[in-house]
């Protein structure tokens, strides 16, 4: 009898449930969106109960669509939006407050204070991260000042594991822990000095586990029988790295979601980046850990959503490619999508979006094309920094996520990077990575070689733009970024 893996991909705007078998045959895939909350400018929140409801609905509809019995699920894998910070009551399981989302900038002043106190270098040396509101530590510090009691802290993986096991397991995987700014990359344990800096009591912290092992089993979950192992967990970008089979040093992927994220495998040691990228855990399997450099752009697909919801120049996000392709170029328009600041390698939380070069001849199509180009240029900045750290250019970039289906964007990305772009047959590589990790723990896949055999390329984009034109476009881009 065929066994299936259920992957839960809990993202920033919705939750996806994916059901696959060993050969990556997709039996069903369902996504349910949930509300975003913006109480103040720069603040972004989620209601944990709405996250859980969207998860239950996605799983229910996925199983209904697959028309299989839930008892045929060999294991469940979880992947999630990282850094988003939750607090809940240990006894009741009720959220103490709304979750503070990774995009939230409310602790920017606290980060500036830490830098003034000269703590940034020590924090970066221990964690591989820069001192930025993006990460969980200052968010947790902010919440703990306002909420008391017997509380549990967790990123979304930890919260879902708690809910799926009926409150029996309070744990987080090592990749999510590495994004909190509380984990020491050398020891892969919570760092007492960092806990003291941020006023975090050890009692609120989850246990740190590997990315692939049996953490616990389902208990009292609507629509699922008790006893299904939850056996794989990783933050979304690390899960995508696994889903893209980037297991060798120098292999890289870019995921285009709400934001965009590039990870490059750097091997078994947490080497520092000297050009504005982060050092993070790529994955941990048993006692074997791999590390990565990461560059994050806070806005990617969210820029297209802004064209849809803010400017209302498209009705559906999928319309942006057709609109952008209706003109030969951006007509001199440059769009820097720094709508919530600039991430790697700039790390300027105060930066704001900019559209320049507008004339009487500018149309919606030019703005749409400039939007896509702006998304690609953010990746250019990150990969330029990574190439400096590597001391050699990238050979190929694997891509995934919703916007990777946009051929115009992918071709421009290849052109501006002057690097081939490899798009896999399955774009849902984040959920796929979670499935791989869970399947490894229960024997559905034997090892990383077995996973690599299943990865297939759907299309490759190669550079077509002349080097001189690339140079001119990059120079103009840098000019505009400096103004943000």
pLDDT tens by residue, 178-189 = 999 999 999 999
Give the pLDDT confidence of 389-410 residue by residue, as tens digits: 888 888 899 999 888 999 999 9
Higher pLDDT, 286 or 424: 424
For the segment 250-274, the average pLDDT, to the nearest whole number, is 90
- d(C-alpha 381, C-alpha 98), whole Å: 34
Report pLDDT for 89.
94
Say if residue 450 is exposed, middle or buried (CB neighbours under 10 Å; 0-12, 13-18, 19+): middle
Q: Is there a contact between 20 and 27 (Cβ–Cβ < 8 Å)?
A: yes
Check pLDDT > 90 for residue 243: yes
Show Cβ contacts of residue 425 under 8 Å, excluding neighbours closer than 6 positions.
456, 457, 458
DSSP per residue, 315-338: SSGGGHHHHHHTSSS-TT-EEE--
**Residue 447 reports pLDDT greater than 80:** yes
| Pairing between β-strand 14-20 and β-strand 26-33 as defined by DSSP bridges | antiparallel
In the chain, the domains with their CATH numbers are 4-237 (3.30.420.40)
**pTM (2 decimals)?**
0.88
Q: Which tens digit of pLDDT belongs to each residue from 97-123?
A: 999 998 898 999 999 999 999 999 999
Within 183-313, strands assigned E span: 183-184, 189-190, 207-209, 212-217, 229-235, 252-256, 260-267, 278-285, 288-297
Look up residue 176 and give its two tokens.
Answer: 């999510």
Q: What pLDDT shows up at residue 198? A: 96
First to last CA, the chain: 58
Overall average pLDDT of the 321-340 stretch = 94
- Taking alpha carbons only, the member of 247, 259, 243, 261 closest to residue 382 is 261
Q: What is the predicted pLDDT for the residue at 402?
A: 85
Mean pLDDT of 421-443: 92
Q: Find the Cα–Cα–Cα–Cα dihedral 188, 191, 195, 201, rounded to 10°.
A: 70
| 348 SS3 class | strand
Q: Express each pLDDT in 41-75 by its tens digit.
A: 889 999 999 999 999 999 999 999 888 888 889 99
pLDDT at position 228 over 90: yes
Indicate if the alpha-carbon torsion angle 312, 254, 280, 84 is positive or negative. positive
Percent of the chain with pLDDT over 70: 100
Of residues 172 and 342, more confidence is placed in: 172
- Helix 136-146 to helix 108-116 angle (10° resolution) is 110
Q: Would you place residue 258 in the very low, low, confident or very high pLDDT band (cuts 50, 70, 90)?
A: confident
What is the DSSP code string of 354-379? EEE---TT--HHHHHHHHHHHHHHHH
Asked whether the beta carbons of 238 and 282 are under 8 A apart, the reply is: yes
Please compute the mean of the pLDDT values over residues 434-441 and round it to a whole number: 95
Confidence band (pLDDT; 50, 70, 90) for 347? confident
Mean pLDDT of 449-461: 90
Distance from C-alpha of 201 to C-alpha of 243, rounded to nearest angstrom: 35
- The region of weakest confidence among 12-16, 168-172, 437-441 is 12-16
Q: Is residue 192 classed exposed, middle or buried when 0-12, 13-18 and 19+ CB atoms within 10 A define those classes?
A: exposed
Give the 3-state DSSP-derived string for 39-50, with helices as H, strands as E and coil as C.
Answer: CCCCCCEECHHH
As a whole number, the mean pLDDT across the chain is 93
User: Residue 1 pLDDT more than 70?
Assistant: no
* 385 has pLDDT over 80: yes
Query: Where are the alpha helices (H) located in 147-263, listed in sequence order?
Result: 156-164, 174-177, 192-198, 236-243
């Amino acid at each position: 009898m065929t066994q299936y893996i259920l992957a839960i991909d809990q993202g920033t705007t919705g939750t996806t449930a994916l059901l696959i078998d060993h050969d990556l045959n997709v039996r069903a895939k369902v996504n349910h969106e949930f509300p975003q909350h913006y109480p103040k400018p720069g603040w972004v929140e989620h209601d944990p109960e709405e996250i859980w409801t969207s998860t239950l609905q996605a799983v229910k509809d996925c199983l209904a669509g697959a028309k299989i019995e839930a008892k045929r699920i060999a294991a469940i894998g979880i992947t999630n939006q990282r850094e988003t910070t939750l607090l809940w009551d240990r006894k009741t399981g009720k959220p103490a407050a709304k979750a503070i989302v990774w995009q939230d900038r409310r602790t920017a002043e606290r980060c500036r204070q830490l830098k003034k106190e000269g703590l940034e270098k020590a924090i970066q040396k221990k964690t591989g991260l820069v001192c930025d509101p993006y990460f969980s530590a200052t968010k947790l510090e902010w919440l703990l000042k306002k909420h008391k009691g017997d509380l549990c802290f967790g990123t979304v993986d930890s919260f879902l594991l708690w809910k799926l096991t009926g409150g029996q397991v309070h744990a987080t995987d090592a990749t999510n822990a590495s994004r909190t700014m509380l984990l020491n990359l050398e020891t892969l344990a919570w760092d007492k000095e960092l806990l003291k800096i941020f006023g975090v009591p050890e009692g609120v912290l989850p246990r740190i586990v590997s990315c692939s092992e049996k953490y616990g089993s389902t208990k009292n979950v609507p629509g699922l029988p008790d006893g299904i192992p939850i056996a794989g967990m990783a933050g979304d970008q690390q899960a995508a790295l696994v889903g893209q089979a980037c297991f060798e040093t120098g292999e890289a992927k870019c995921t285009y979601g709400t934001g965009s994220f590039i990870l490059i495998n750097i091997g078994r040691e947490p080497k520092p980046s000297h050009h504005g990228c982060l050092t993070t855990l790529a994955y941990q399997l048993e006692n074997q850990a791999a590390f990565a450099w990461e560059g994050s752009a806070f806005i990617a697909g969210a820029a297209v959503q802004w064209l849809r919801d803010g400017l209302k120049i498209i009705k559906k996000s999928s319309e942006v490619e057709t609109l952008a392709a209706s003109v030969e170029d951006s007509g001199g328009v440059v769009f820097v999508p720094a709508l919530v600041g600039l991430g790697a390698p700039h790390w300027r939380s105060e930066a704001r979006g900019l559209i320049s070069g507008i004339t009487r001849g500018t149309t919606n199509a030019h703005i749409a094309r400039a939007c896509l180009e702006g998304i690609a240029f953010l990746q250019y900045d990150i990969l330029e920094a990574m190439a400096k750290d590597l001391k050699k250019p990238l050979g190929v970039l694997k891509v995934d996520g919703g916007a990777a289906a946009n051929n115009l964007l992918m071709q421009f990305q290849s052109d501006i990077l002057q690097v081939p772009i490899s798009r896999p047959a399955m774009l849902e590589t984040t959920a796929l990575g979670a499935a791989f990790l869970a399947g490894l723990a229960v024997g559905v896949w034997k090892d990383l070689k077995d996973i690599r055999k299943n990865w297939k390329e759907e299309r490759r984009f190669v550079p077509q733009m002349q080097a001189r034109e690339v140079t001119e476009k990059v120079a103009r881009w840098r000019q505009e970024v400096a103004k943000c």
